Amino acid sequence: MVRQLITVTYFRSGLKIARLIVINVQVSLQVDTTACLCRVDAGLKTVAGAKRYVPGTKLCLQPDIKPSIHPTRNKPPRGDRSRNQFPLLPGLPDDLAIACLIRVPRVEHCKLRLVCKRWYRLLAGNFFYSLRKSLGIAEEWIYVIKRDRDGKISWHAFDPIYQLWQPLPPVPKEYSEALGFGCAVLSGCHLYLFGGKDPLKGSMRRVIYYSARTNKWHRAPDMLRRRHFFGSCVINNCLYVAGGENKGVHGSLRSAEVYDPNKNRWSFIADMSTAMVPFIGVVYEGKWFLKGLGDHRQVLSEVYQPENDSWDPVYDGMVAGWRNPSASLDGNLYALECKDGCKLRVYDEATDSWTKHIDSKMHLGNSRALEAAALVPLNGRLCIVRNNMSISLVDVSKSSDVSGATATEHLWETIAGKGQFKTMVTNLWSSLAGRNRRKSHIVHCQVLLA
């Protein structure tokens, strides 16, 4: 067992700031000693004394992390630099140091990046988070994008383990006031914003994405068509968009397109059967179901099958009783039944109908602040996010093992409820100031893994 106490001292803006980070990690040495973890990443190196700590360990032959991207004068020879380079953790080979660092909770990663350049480069690469994911210790956070009272877009991240809201870099300017834009997650850690309508420039083709690993925004290739208020989904890690509106086109759109992150490009797919402005969509059994309004305000429903690249109208009981928000989890399709999200329904494919599933028996009300805005899977459970930023979890996997109203209540858990009190106070002041004032509401909600 290895227990390491790290005291980190660094300088910032000329002030000496002492940081004490305690890493209490138990690392089993029963590992494959014939391989080195840092062989995967060319930027990491095992110190020469590794054999003293892990008998039989092969020395890592990978090159060092470059000390700086800026040229410096009188650089020592490469061999001297490698011998003088400090290890990631004093007294440990780098592979064991990484085994310790990847177990540090995600909420502390912003501090780890400030320790030194080697730690910053380690956490900035894909190897660190890919290893966390492969070992099953990556953490899911909830990301909420909302429109504030002044019409501006803001977003927040919630850590369900420590039940804390975390700061995020501001949304790029082009999406600070955009309307009708799409939001989706690719590769588990990249949150994409695409399309939408700029108040001054109209419909957009722009695509940007946020990386939960680097905590930064990046650009992606623009969409092929300008559109806003469209439908979007992710199937096999490809992003699909369809329908919507375009300021320069009369009526709604029929066109659809797909983005493949591996090829880093957009391509057109088959057009929809009828033009539509979708207001609800879900992926179920590998198919994309969309429900929206046509040019004459009639309700339309279509399903897209990626393997055939075809759209077909759908009129079955699933679509007829389908309400938003909804989500698919473990092969089942769920939807909220009441406005505050305290009742849950499930689709029964055998009878082609929706049935009542779980009732929390603790209904909050019908106000806009308490309205359920999103239903997303989180760590094997369903997560209900309301406009007041309160969050509830429902363990649907155990719903078939219990019976009775009292038993089902225990399947519900509130993990963020402080926002509800703030909203009640805010709503009181709003009522005194005037009832026509705009209220904040959630636009999108996603889960990112890192």
Q: For the domain that residue 445 is a member of, what is the CATH number?
A: 2.120.10.80
What's the pLDDT score for residue 361? Answer: 81
Distance separating alpha carbons of residues 51 and 188, to the nearest angstrom: 37
Q: What are phi and psi of 83, to 5 degrees?
A: -75, -30
CA nearest to 48, candidates 60, 40, 32: 60
Distance separating alpha carbons of residues 133 and 213, to the nearest angstrom: 12
What's the pLDDT score for residue 420? Answer: 41
Q: Are residues 365 and 220 in the same domain?
A: yes
Q: Are residues 108 and 193 in the same domain?
A: no
Contacts with 220 (C-beta within 8 Å, 6 or more apart), sequence order:
192, 194, 207, 208, 209, 259, 264
Question: Structure tokens of 234?
Answer: 């992710």
Q: What is the helix (H) or strand (E) element at residue 185, kind and residue range?
A: strand 182-186
What's the pLDDT score for residue 367? Answer: 86
Q: Are residues 313 and 413 in the same domain?
A: yes
Question: Structure tokens of 401?
Answer: 């093992």
Angle between helices 117-124 and 126-134 (to 10 degrees): 60
CA nearest to 146, candidates 157, 136, 138, 135: 157
Token pair 């009188």: residue:
74
181 within 8 A of 415, measured Cβ to Cβ = no
266 within 8 A of 257, measured Cβ to Cβ = yes
Domain span including residue 103: 4-134
Q: Are residues 61 and 172 in the same domain?
A: no
Q: What is the helix (H) or strand (E) element at residue 15, kind and residue range?
A: strand 15-23
CA distances from 35 to 59, 127, 211, 302 (A): 9, 16, 30, 52
Q: Are residues 428 and 444 in the same domain?
A: yes
Question: Structure tokens of 31?
Answer: 């590992």
Q: CA end-to-end span of the chain, whole Å?
A: 26
What's the pLDDT score for residue 39? Answer: 36
Last residue in a domain, options 106, 134, 162? 134
Q: Are residues 45 and 181 in the same domain?
A: no
Q: Are residues 311 and 422 in the same domain?
A: yes
CA nearest to 375, candidates 417, 334, 425: 334
Per-position pLDDT tens, the chain of length 450: 333 333 333 333 322 322 333 334 333 333 333 333 333 333 433 333 333 333 333 333 333 333 333 444 455 555 544 456 789 999 999 999 999 999 999 999 999 999 999 999 999 888 999 999 999 999 999 999 999 999 999 999 999 999 999 989 999 999 999 999 999 999 999 999 999 999 999 999 999 999 999 899 999 999 999 999 999 999 999 999 999 999 767 779 999 999 999 999 999 999 999 999 999 999 999 999 999 999 988 999 999 999 999 999 999 899 988 988 999 999 999 999 989 989 999 999 999 999 998 988 888 888 889 999 999 999 999 999 999 999 999 999 877 655 555 466 678 899 987 544 344 444 443 343 334 456 889 999 999 999
Omega prior to 63 cis, within 30 of 0:
no
**Residue 147, CB-side half-sphere exposure with 13 Å CA sphere:** 14
Check: pTM over 0.75? Answer yes or no: yes
What's the pLDDT score for residue 27? Answer: 36
Distance separating alpha carbons of residues 195 and 445, to the nearest angstrom: 17
Question: Structure tokens of 252?
Answer: 């709604």
Q: Are residues 197 and 287 in the same domain?
A: yes
285-316 core/surface letters (b: 16 or more CB in 10 A; e: else):
eebbbbbbbeeeeeebbbbbebeeeebeebee
Q: What order do you get walking across the sheet with 287-293 strand by strand?
A: 277-284, 287-293, 299-305, 310-313
Last residue in a domain, options 112, 134, 156? 134
Distance separating alpha carbons of residues 362 and 343, to the nearest angstrom: 9
Last residue in a domain, options 105, 134, 163? 134
25 within 8 A of 83, measured Cβ to Cβ = no
**Residue 78, CB-side half-sphere exposure with 13 Å CA sphere:** 5
DSSP 8-state secondary structure symbol assigned to residue 176: S
CA nearest to 370, candidates 360, 379, 380, 378: 360
CA nearest to 210, candidates 183, 233, 237: 183
Q: What order do you get walking across the sheet with 381-386 strand by strand?
A: 372-378, 381-386, 391-394, 412-416
What's the pLDDT score for residue 363? Answer: 83
What's the pLDDT score for residue 430? Answer: 38
What's the pLDDT score for residue 362? Answer: 83
Q: Are residues 195 and 122 in the same domain?
A: no
What's the pLDDT score for residue 421? Answer: 39
DSSP 8-state secondary structure symbol assigned to residue 173: G
What's the pLDDT score for residue 77? Answer: 56
What's the pLDDT score for residue 403? Answer: 52
What's the pLDDT score for residue 65? Answer: 32
Q: Are residues 228 and 278 in the same domain?
A: yes
What's the distance, CA 229 to chain centroid?
21
Distance separating alpha carbons of residues 224 and 265, to the nearest angstrom: 10
CA distances from 15 to 18, 80, 432 (A): 10, 31, 47
The number of distinct structural domains making up the chain is 2
Q: Are residues 212 and 234 in the same domain?
A: yes
Distance separating alpha carbons of residues 420 and 392, to the nearest angstrom: 12
Q: Are residues 28 and 85 in the same domain?
A: yes
Token pair 């699909």: residue:
240
